[in-house]
Amino acid sequence: MTERLTIETLGQKGDGIAHVGGAAVFVPFTLPGEIVEIERQGERGRLLQVETASPERVEAPCRHFGRCGGCELQHMSEAAYRAFKRETVVEAFRRVGLEPQVADLVPCAPHSRRRAVFSALRVDSRVLFGFHEALSHRIAPISTCLVTVPEIASRLDFFEKLAVAMIDRKRELRMVVTHTAAGLDIAVSDAARLDDKLRQRILSLALAPGVARLAIDGETIVEPQAPRIDVDGIGVPLPPGAFLQAVASAEGAMAEIALPHFGKANQVADLFCGIGTFTLRLARRHPVHGVEFDSPALAALDHARRGIPGLKPVTTERRDLFRRPMTTKELNRFDGVLFDPPRAGAEAQCRELAKSTVKRVAAVSCNSASLARDAAILVEGGYKLQSVTPIDQFLWSHHVEAVALFER
């Protein structure tokens, strides 16, 4: 049964919202003011037709838009898109009672994402390879991608051939592809069991030009060149599947905003430091203590900082900051703290930080809601929230990165 609705506003995830009998209905790929025809199941509506289009509607540039779940907002004008992303950050802070100065969105260019996560699944005699559809376990096959760097987008057929060779009969295969200075780093999980015949077949495929490493379920199969990531001119070895900021220019923008905040600080702690994205940059000016739970990431950071002339001392510590956050007493020896946690945020760590004497704090986050929650904890503890800058690292999706600066 079809229904005709008027879209009133956009939700936090970019879906258009209408109301039927007082209940909200969420309709992807629509814009405020549009009159649309939909097919509804519960609170979700599937767009059938746009009867009256918004003046902010544009033609989506990708042929897979609407099915591939990677991009949700290609139908919005550039101005509307930027305003929406900034407003999601403003609204997240408003919900916790904060109204900071929020800068304009730092933009992200197409063809700039250096990491992509593909999926493959056997369906009868076929193998589907691509990205998940929105809110679905179904896989949308793709033949192009306007978000990823050309080095990834131009090799989709090759990645699919690899996936077909190693896919398990029952499990969904996951393939993380990262473009590095040495070439493509390919990390596969949930592959089929590797017997000698399959191992040789995969090995022959993986020796293709441009492949730096292929790892399957944690085992390195081939590594013609050790993958390395450039961090402010320092080559950092990349562990298989390690966390990495998705867009190099966005990473640079975060650093340009966060690092000057620490001025002439004598000691800075970098919490959830990963492979040293900010640690190594901070070490150009400050002694730094990097804290991270992932051992391979810490080993990569330690390897990278050795022998680099001009760096201030860098120390590292393996620690689960969710279960065992740094205590107020431990934090008090630092003049500044930078933290860049996973999407869940750093609530427990911020409660300790709020009681500390640390003068300056910079928070980096890919989740506006958890960032706002953590900011409220710091403000309640006596910090002033100086600014928030949204950064578009996830082009054409509702996700937005942000950097918040605090001073006691």
Span 226-279, pLDDT tens digits: 999 999 999 999 998 788 999 999 999 999 999 999 999 999 999 999 999 999
Q: Which fold has domain 2-57?
A: OB fold (Dihydrolipoamide Acetyltransferase, E2P) (2.40.50)
d(CA 151, CA 155): 7
- Whether CATH 3.30.2320.50 fits 83-108+247-407: no
Class of domain 115-228: mainly beta
CB-based burial of residue 2 (10 Å sphere; 0-12 exposed, 13-18 middle, 19+ buried)? exposed
First to last CA, the chain: 58
pTM of the predicted protein model: 0.93
Cα distances (angstroms) measured from residue 361 to each of 92, 318, 328, 358: 19, 21, 14, 7
Let me know if 366 is a catalytic residue: yes
Asked whether this chain's domains 2-57 and 115-228 adopt the same fold, the reply is yes
Percent of the chain with pLDDT over 90: 92
Question: What's the pLDDT tens digit per position in 118-160?
Answer: 999 999 889 999 999 887 889 999 999 999 999 999 999 999 9
State the number of CA atoms in the 13 A half-sphere of 28 facing the CB.
17
Beta-bridge partners for 217 = none
29 is in an annotated binding site: no
- pLDDT at res. 134: 81
- pLDDT at res. 106: 98
- pLDDT at res. 135: 75
Residue spans of the domains in the chain: they are: 2-57, 83-108+247-407, 115-228
272 is in an annotated binding site: yes
245 is in an annotated binding site: yes
Of the candidates 68, 145, 350, 366, the residue annotated as catalytic is 366
- pLDDT at res. 137: 84
Report residue 143 as tokens: 């033949």
- pLDDT at res. 117: 95
Residue from 164, 162, 155 nearest 183 by CA: 155
CB 338 within 8 A of CB 311: no
Question: What's the pLDDT tens digit per position in 275-334?
Answer: 999 999 999 999 999 999 999 999 999 999 998 999 999 999 999 999 999 999 999 999
Mean pLDDT (the chain) is: 95
292 is in an annotated binding site: yes
Question: What's the pLDDT tens digit per position in 353-397?
Answer: 999 999 999 999 999 999 999 999 999 999 999 999 999 999 999
